[in-house]
Structure formats: structure tokens, C-alpha cells
Amino acid sequence: MKLLVFSDSHGKIEPMRRAIEQERPDTVIHLGDCVRDAENLRREISPTQAFISVCGNCDPGSDAPDRAEFVFDGVSVFACHGHRYRVKFGLDALCLAGRLSGAQLVLFGHTHTALCQELGGLTLVNPGSAAHSYALVETDGAGGFKVRLLCAE
């Protein structure tokens, strides 16, 4: 299965639309800043497309939660924007939150810098800014997964 991960779109909807059309994901997740972009895109593309959103520091008044914990095709996922874990200054607090949630995969944004890193038994993924990049997580149905960071066209 495919999980398509965006963050920090800040009004740049077109790159996300193209990635969704190209990748044909089972689920799309938007990691905040501006979560309303994902909501608008969902209405536009398909109301049946599975979407998960969390709010970021540029999403005042959003009804989206500040984090999401879920299992995607056997993979435990912790997702947040990252600002509450001060990810611009290090990943320790984020790793702790991921471990406490029992996650294998931690998704975050906020820095606008794409990253895929193994740290302390966790896979940390930041898709970067949606205008420039996104992450694609492909699962194998048995709890395994691979992550690719891709350039938005």
C-alpha cells in the first residue's frame, strides 16, 4: 500500500495534486502548514480519498489534531507537524514521543527540509515543503516498509 506524505504546502496545491495523480496513494497525509490546502484538495479530487491531517503552527483555528497515531498496513505511525517538539533544534523530543507511542515510523514537517533517517530504532521522515518535495511510504503488508523522498514536479 502507498502512503503519500506532504507538509508545509503554504497554498501550493498544484504540486500535491500532481503527486496524488501520479502516485495514486491509498492514503494521503498532510503534516500541517496549511492543512486547509489538503482539505480543499480532497474536496476537489475525490471525497472518498483517504486523508489524514494534523495542524501546524500556521493553522490557527483548525479542527485538525496536533498529532496522529495510527497503523497503516501493519506499520505503526506517529505523525505531527514538529513545532511542538522543537525539531528545528534537534530530534530528541520527537524521538521520545515516537517511542512512547510505539511507532516504527515518525512523520514530521516544519523545517521545510526533506529528511529520511534511522535513529534509535525509529525511521524519521520529513517530506520537506510540498512545493518542492514529498515522501512516499510503500508497505509490504507484513509490517515492513520503504520510504522514498521525491521531487515535486
User: CA 151 to CA 24: how far, in whole Å?
Assistant: 16
Average per-residue pLDDT for the chain: 96
List, for residues 36-82, the tens digit of each pLDDT value. 998 999 888 887 889 999 999 999 999 999 999 999 999 999 999 99
Query: In this predicted structure, what is the pLDDT of residue 74?
Result: 97
Q: For the packed helices 14-23 and 35-45, what is the interaxial angle rounded to 10 degrees? A: 50
Q: Alpha-carbon distance 5 to 25, whole Å?
A: 10
CB 125 within 8 A of CB 145: no
Identify whether the C-beta of residue 32 lies closer than 8 Å to the C-beta of residue 56. yes
Q: What is the pLDDT of residue 49?
A: 87
Q: Does position 19 have pLDDT exceeding 90, yes or no?
A: yes
Share of the chain above pLDDT 90, in %: 92
What are the structural domains of the chain?
A: 2-151 (3.60.21.10)
- Give dist(CA 46, CA 48) in Å, integer: 5
pLDDT at 117: 98
Query: Is the Cβ–Cβ distance between 137 and 105 less than 8 Å?
Result: yes
The confidence score (pLDDT) of residue 46 equals 80
Partnered with residue 76 across adjacent β-strands are 71
Q: What is the pLDDT of residue 45?
A: 84
Mean pLDDT of 125-130: 99
Q: Amino acid identity, residue 50?
A: A
Residue 50 Cα to chain centre, angstroms = 13
From CA 82, how far away is CA 106, in angstroms rounded?
Answer: 10
- Residue 34: cis peptide before it, omega within 30 degrees of 0: yes
pLDDT at residue 153 above 90? no
Q: What is the pLDDT of residue 48?
A: 83
Confidence at residue 15, expressed as pLDDT on a 0 to 100 scale: 97
According to the model, what pLDDT value does residue 150 have? Answer: 98
